[in-house]
Amino acid sequence: MRSPLLWRLLVLAGFIGLLEALCLGGVIKPLTMQPPHKIVTDLVKMLSSGSLNGAIAKTLGNALIAFIIAMILGVTSAIIIHRLRRVRDTLEPLFATYYAIPVFAFYPLLIILLGLGDAPQIFIGAMLGIVAVIVNTLNGLDRVPNVLLKTARVNQMGPVETALRVTLPCASPYILTGAKLAVAYSLIGIIGAEFIMSSGGMGYEISFAYNNFDNATMYPLILLILVVSITINMAIARWEKALMAKRGLR
């Protein structure tokens, strides 16, 4: 009866139940938070009416583009940086500092450089995600055993084929760790930028609803973002776990 999954579900159910009770009992005012069941029904209503589908598609679409850019550029740069010891050492302090820098401060600059469209938002999302991808990919590349690289040479493989067939598969669990973070960071980048300055998207709709005390729109949108990010994260984590299990790790 000590199944962790069961207990996790119990804890979650207990937490939601508590929120529900506090909201219905009036301890948490309706202006602060809607009871959970109402958030869910509002979300279903919102999605089926399709009133905000445009905003949802815009935000998630942009986040997806930012994520893909962060992954491709991040993995490629990591492979290059990994071979250049000096460059890597120099970048180390930047990696350590990066996530304490308020990247959103560059948003106005990006708007001037890239125009008022989706491009500056995607840029911020990709910029936030890429360092997490680089750092984790480097970590994975560090762990590729030397003997596998020798094997690649004995099999007469060039640098590109070695990367595609030996180093990247070997480092893939670590790259997936970076991918999980990149998902969160591209969403943070897009939604944060939409909060600051935008004419559409989920971030804009959330702050618009907040300013108008429209909790029936705000909470379902927040819930949707949480559900989407947790679902993607869990899917990647499951994949990662399967890879590790296949290698007899963990």
Partner 1 sequence: MNRQSGSILRNTLTLIVVVLVAWQALYWIVGDIALRSPLQTFAFAGKFMSTPQFAQHLAETSKAFGLALLLAVAIGLTIGFTLGASRFLSDVFEPMLIALYSIPKITLYPILLLAFGLGMSSKVAFGTIHGVIPIALFTITAVRNVKRVYLKTGQVMGLSPLDMIARIIFPAALPEIFAGLRIGFSLTLIGTLLGEMFASQRGLGFLLMSAIGLHNVDLIMALTLLLTVFAGTASVVLLALNQRLYARS
Partner 2 sequence: MTQIAQVSLRQVDKMFSRGGNPADTVHALGPIDLELRHGEFFAVVGPSGCGKSTLLELVAGLSTATRGEVAFEGKPIEGRIPDGVGVVFQEDASFPWLSVRDNIAFGLRRMKLPPEEKAKRIEKALAMMGLVPFAESYPSQLSGGMRQRVCIARTLVTEPRLILLDEPFGALDQQTRLLMGDEVLNLWRKTGATVFLITHALDEAAMLADRIGVMSARPGRLIDIVETGWPRDRDSRIVQEESFGAITARLWRSLREESMKSIGKAGTTI
Q: How far is the CB of 174 from partner 1 (least distance, A)?
A: 15
User: Which lies closer to partner 1 via its Cβ, residue 24 or residue 230?
Assistant: 230
Q: How far is the CB of 143 from partner 2 (least distance, A)?
A: 11
Q: How far is the CB of 5 from partner 1 (least distance, A)?
A: 9
Q: Which among 35-43, 69-77, 139-147, 188-196 is the span making contact with partner 2, rule CB under 8 A?
A: 139-147
User: Which lies closer to partner 1 via its Cβ, residue 124 or residue 141?
Assistant: 124
The listed partner (partner 1, partner 2, none) that binds 51, CB under 5 to 8 Å by sort, is none
The token pair at 175 is: 């790259």
Residues 158 to 187 in contact with partner 2, rule: CB under 8 A? 165-166, 169-170, 172
State how far the Cα of 31 lies from the Cα of 219, in Å rounded to an integer.
11
Residue labelled with tokens 């819930």: 223
Query: Which of 51, 53, 97, 155 is close enough to bind partner 2 by CB under 8 A?
Result: 155
Report whether 30 contacts 215 (CB < 8 A).
yes
- The angle subtended at Cα 173 by Cα 172 and Cα 177, nearest 5°, is 110
Interior/surface letters 30-39, b for 16+ CB within 10 angstroms, e for the rest: eeebbbbebb
Q: How far is the CB of 79 from partner 1 (least distance, A)?
A: 21
Q: Does 145 bind partner 2 (CB under 8 A)?
A: yes
Q: How many residues bind partner 2 (CB under 8 A)?
A: 20
The listed partner (partner 1, partner 2, none) that binds 147, CB under 5 to 8 Å by sort, is partner 2
Q: Does 3 bind partner 2 (CB under 8 A)?
A: no
- Helices 168-196 and 119-142, axial angle in degrees (round to 10): 150
Torsion angle of C-alpha atoms 32, 38, 43, 49, degrees rounded to 10: -110
State how far the Cα of 235 lies from the Cα of 35, in Å rounded to an integer.
28
The listed partner (partner 2, partner 1, none) that binds 169, CB under 5 to 8 Å by sort, is partner 2
| Binding positions for partner 1, rule: CB under 8 A | 2, 4, 7-8, 11-12, 31-33, 89-94, 96-97, 99-102, 104-109, 112-113, 180-181, 183-185, 187-188, 191-192, 195-197, 203, 206-207, 210, 218, 222, 225-226, 229-230, 233-234, 237
Q: How many CB atoms within 10 Å of residue 212? A: 10
Q: How far is the CB of 233 from partner 2 (least distance, A)?
A: 22
Please, which residues have CB within 8 angstroms of residue 89's CB and are 6 or more apart in sequence? none
Sign for the CA dihedral angle at 14, 16, 17, 23 comes to: positive
Q: Does 247 bind partner 2 (CB under 8 A)?
A: yes
Residue labelled with tokens 């071979």: 83
State how far the Cα of 193 lies from the Cα of 36, in Å rounded to an integer.
28
Tell me which residues touch partner 2 (CB under 8 A): 145-148, 150-151, 153-156, 165-166, 169-170, 172, 243, 246-249
